Amino acid sequence: MKAFTYERAESPAVAAAAVAAKPGAKFIAGGTNLLDLMKLQIEEPVHLVDVNRLALDKIEPTADGGLRIGALVRNTDLAADARVRRDYGVLSRAIVAGASGQLRNKATTAGNLLQRTRCPYFYDTNQPCNKRKPGSGCAAIGGYSRQLGIIGTSSACIATYPGDMAVAMRVLDATVETVQPDGQTRRIPIADFHRLWGDTPHIDTNLRAGELITAVTLPKPVGGTHIYHKVRDRASYAYALVSVAAILQRDGTGHVAIGGIAPKPWRVDAAEAVLPQGAKATAARLLTGARPTQDNAFKVPLVERTLAAVMAEAKDAA
């Protein structure tokens, strides 16, 4: 790990200004992803701004009947909150499906959204990687790609977004609240938060320089059956090959987002329009334009089968 300087911020705006003022600076809260990347010298921040003392650790009701989740709410606390379990069950289930209990105790809501890909070539500094070093190439293309993306990828990168929580946030139509270095605030729909890789895979989100996440808001509950189904190589502490976050109503309508297949949680309006027709029709629209590799072509039928399992579970629950 390379040397860095450190400070504790006293307010969100001060934290944002501190990071913006020093190129190469980063925020740190739980550090469950950032510290690992620093040890491997994949991330090399020259300055860390600790935001743990900011008053961003509350879960509060909103005026329209939703919930406002502070950026520093720990994953364990969010998953266990009675209101989340009752009204946003898909979110609670998604969080518990991720990492380990120890990591969930430390990881934060904002940090979870910002975690970087787990592509093995991104983590191997002996391999070319456009996410790690722009313009160096992508060793995953033509390499071992079983875990990697089948849709939304590009000629520069086929990595996937690895998280579980964000997939549930996407199906819930969450909004990310931020503060910028000048103190101005912004609200970013979760659909617009993560980026497709395109020609700039080193840029994961649409946050601006120094912009700090302060909260995530959830809209008023929509009811229905909430399911998060994660398919992985082992029963725990593994990232999704395919995951499905779903909110399904008795009439077969609903919302579905897919994880493990794209640079961001994958949700397609045209696919949701045919949900009552079943998993096959829905998966076909979700994966329109998919470009799997020989190693991960199995993810195409796996999406359909996982959707079918989710729909069957929702029918039984109803």
pLDDT digits (tens, 9 = 90+) for 37-50: 999 999 999 999 99
> Which residue's structure tokens are 């609670």?
92
Per-residue pLDDT band at 236 (split at 50, 70, 90): confident
Instruction: Dig out the tokens for 27 from the structure.
Output: 């925020």
Beta bridge partners of 186: 178
Residues making up the chain, counted from first to last: 318
pLDDT confidence of residue 318: 80
pLDDT at site 253: 98
Query: What pTM does this model have?
Result: 0.97
* Complete DSSP assignment for 225-265: EEEEEEE-SSSSS---SEEEEEEE-TTS-EEEEEESSSSS-
Alpha-carbon distance values, 161 to 19, 152, 172, 204, 211 (Å):
24, 11, 18, 9, 20
Residue 92 binned pLDDT confidence (cut-offs 50, 70, 90): very high
pLDDT, tens only, 22-38: 999 999 999 999 999 99
3-state SS, 80-93, equals: HCHHHHHHCHHHHH
Instruction: Please state the rounded mean pLDDT for residues 269-285.
Output: 98
For all residues of the chain together, what is the average pLDDT?
A: 97
Sort 65 into a burial class: Cβ within 10 Å, 0-12 / 13-18 / 19+. exposed
Element (H, E) at 185: strand 185-189
What is the C-alpha separation between 160 and 118, in angstroms, rounded?
8
Please, what sign has the CA dihedral across residues 132, 138, 139, 141?
positive
Q: What is the 3-state secondary structure (H, E, C) of 103-127?
A: HHHHCEHHHHHHCCCCCHHHHCCCC
Over residues 140-177, the pLDDT tens digits come to 999 999 999 999 999 999 999 999 999 999 999 999 99
**DSSP label at residue 11:** S
Tokens of 311: 């729909």
- Pairing verdict, β 47-50 and 5-8: parallel
Res 47: pLDDT: 98
Contact 257, 107 (CB under 8 A): no
Shortest CA distance to 298 belongs to which of 143, 113, 148?
A: 148
Q: How far is CA 273 from CA 22, 190, 222, 276, in A?
A: 47, 20, 17, 8
The tokens of 260 are what? 């493990």
In the structure, what pLDDT confidence band is assigned to residue 196 with cuts at 50, 70 and 90? very high
What number of CA atoms fall less than 13 Å from residue 85's CA on the CB side?
8
Region class of 3: left (phi > 0), else alpha (psi between -120 and 50), else beta: beta
Q: How confident is the model at residue 237 (pLDDT cuts 50, 70, 90)?
A: confident
Angle at 123 between CA 117 and CA 128, to 5 degrees: 100
Tell me phi and psi for residue 126, to 5 degrees.
-85, -5
Determine the Cα–Cα distance for residues 264 and 205; give it in Å rounded to an integer: 9
Q: How far is residue 137's CA from residue 144's CA, in Å, rounded to a whole number?
A: 15
**Which residues face 175 on adjacent strands?**
189, 217
